Amino acid sequence: MMKHKYAVVGTGGRIPMFIDPIAGLYRDTSELVGLCDLSATRRRWHLQRLIREYGIDPIPDYAAEDFDVMLKERRPDTVIVCVPDYLHHDYIVRSLEFGANVISEKPLTIDAEKFAVIDAAVRRTGRSVRTTFNYRWAPGASKVRQLIASGAIGTVKHIDFEYMLNTSHGADYFRRWHSYKKFSGGLLVHKATHHFDLINWWIDAIPETVFAMGNLVFYGKENAVARGQEALTRYPRYTGVPESEGDPFRMNLEGDPTLKALYRDAESDSGYLRDENVFRDGITIEDSMSATVRYRTGAMLSYSLNAYCPCEGFRVSISGDAGRLEYAERHAAHIITGDRELKIEPNASRGASLRLQNLFSDPQEIPVHMPESGHGGADPLIQEQIFSANPPPEHLGRNAGHEQGAASLLVGAAANHSMKIGAPVRITDLFNLRPECQRLSQLI
């Protein structure tokens, strides 16, 4: 059997989710044929790791400016895109034009204009783009979907969703490129695309109108000074800065071997600082956000995200005309380091609870098991769907193409626009995503 050939662009902390299964569990049917990144240090560190851990043969690696050369020389069947979010559309379109399919880390892109370019390329080339929504595959999330689809609470009318990022994991978005909206679209695009996608998928509905508010209220120099913490603003980064010793927000890239290899050692050829001070000037994303969303089905969502909480996790309540589901997860904060998740709160409690209560009935507690593997047990399942030659049948609609990817990112894009103009935004005014459809399952 001919192996399916994969090439990768972007070799930061997220890429092991894709390249390790290719080199390991699915090596009989899959082959990694090229790595591309602006940093030779990063891409060659991953290559040496794969050779050492999986015994693969050496493969060519390419600088970012040689991406098209990689396509021509290595002729991949599929390109995996894990570059910073604002660059997704460029590499996706170039891959499609070459004739390859694409797997894109979420979010698919950061705004409606860039998505329009992707959508046009998909239609022009006839190739496909998969958006990797890991969270759909987590056991608790899948159970919520099953209950709603079975009619357990009737027709969904309203959703309340609160997500909490703590001062370890949440702060990490303010140390790196994600803290600049032009690169990430802000947390309402980068992080919340997970949450908006879950809601879209749980209730099988397409979002219609968004009204949002948000601000930078905790991170950034101005906020620290106002709290009397001016001393925490006096250094631009943390690693190698003696003055930052004792700062509870400090990240030391030299304190973890993988962070050191991927980021500290790569600074000379990437120019990227992974550990900028979270209380510096120049941060352009929000850390506190609220949004109201109306769906084409008539359902309504109330959503909030805060990135400076003392705890980590989420709570969601889904109300239907026959009952209510309440689902909550407690998370231990982590940082993706490139070959594993570095637990930065190793003793923090984690778990999930799910309660179903029908009208005029007592509540039922439904057990939920959260495995220790990536994204609460989701990663191995989505990897099997992507890389197995014969993946198991999928009955919950968890695989997502580019239109379903757009359905979540466009909520964030509309929220950004709403915050800018101070008024509700109709998503179809940004991109006319199959206006004849109501259900997410009707999208590719």
Q: Per residue in 272-312, pLDDT tens?
A: 999 999 999 999 999 999 999 999 999 999 999 999 999 99
Provide the pLDDT confidence category of residue 188 given band limits of 50, 70 and 90.
very high
pLDDT given at position 334? 66
Provide the pLDDT confidence category of residue 111 given band limits of 50, 70 and 90.
very high
Distance of CA 86 to the CA centre of its chain: 13
As annotated, the residues of the chain forming the CATH 3.30.360.10 domain(s) are: 135-219+283-374+393-442
Instruction: Choose which CATH entry (3.40.190.10, 3.90.870.30, 3.30.360.10, 3.40.50.460) describes domain 135-219+283-374+393-442.
Output: 3.30.360.10
As annotated, the residues of the chain forming the CATH 3.40.50.720 domain(s) are: 4-134
Question: Cis omega before residue 107 (within 30°)?
Answer: yes
CA distance 305 to 218: 13
Provide the pLDDT confidence category of residue 343 given band limits of 50, 70 and 90.
low
Q: Per residue in 52-84, pLDDT tens?
A: 999 999 999 999 999 999 999 999 999 999 999
Quick check: 348 pLDDT over 80?
no
Q: What is the mean pLDDT of residues 255-269?
A: 97
Which two structure tokens, joined as six digits, stand for 232?
A: 């925490």
Residue with the larger pLDDT of the pair 129 and 334: 129
User: What's the length of the chain?
Assistant: 444
Q: Which residues contact 164 (CB under 8 A, 6 or more apart)?
A: 306, 309, 311, 312, 313, 314
CA distance 19 to 35: 10
Quick check: 365 pLDDT over 80?
yes
pLDDT given at position 262? 97
Which two structure tokens, joined as six digits, stand for 319?
A: 């109300």
Q: Per residue in 210-242, pLDDT tens?
A: 999 999 999 999 999 999 999 999 999 999 999
Share in percent of the chain as helix, strand, coil (round to 5): 40, 25, 35
Quick check: 10 pLDDT over 80?
yes
pLDDT given at position 350? 74
pLDDT given at position 371? 80
Quick check: 132 pLDDT over 90?
yes
pLDDT given at position 349? 60
- Kindly state the DSSP code that residue 384 receives in the 8-state scheme: H
Instruction: Choose which CATH entry (3.40.50.740, 3.60.10.10, 3.40.50.720, 1.10.3720.10) describes domain 4-134.
Output: 3.40.50.720
**Complete DSSP assignment for 180-216:** SHHHH--HHHHTHHHHHHHHHHHHT--EEEEEEEEE-
Provide the β-strand partners of residue 325.
Answer: 318, 356
Quick check: 341 pLDDT over 60?
no
Beta strands 101-105 and 78-81 are parallel
Minimum mean pLDDT among 202-216, 375-389, 428-442: which range? 375-389
User: Average pLDDT over the chain, rounded to whole?
Assistant: 95
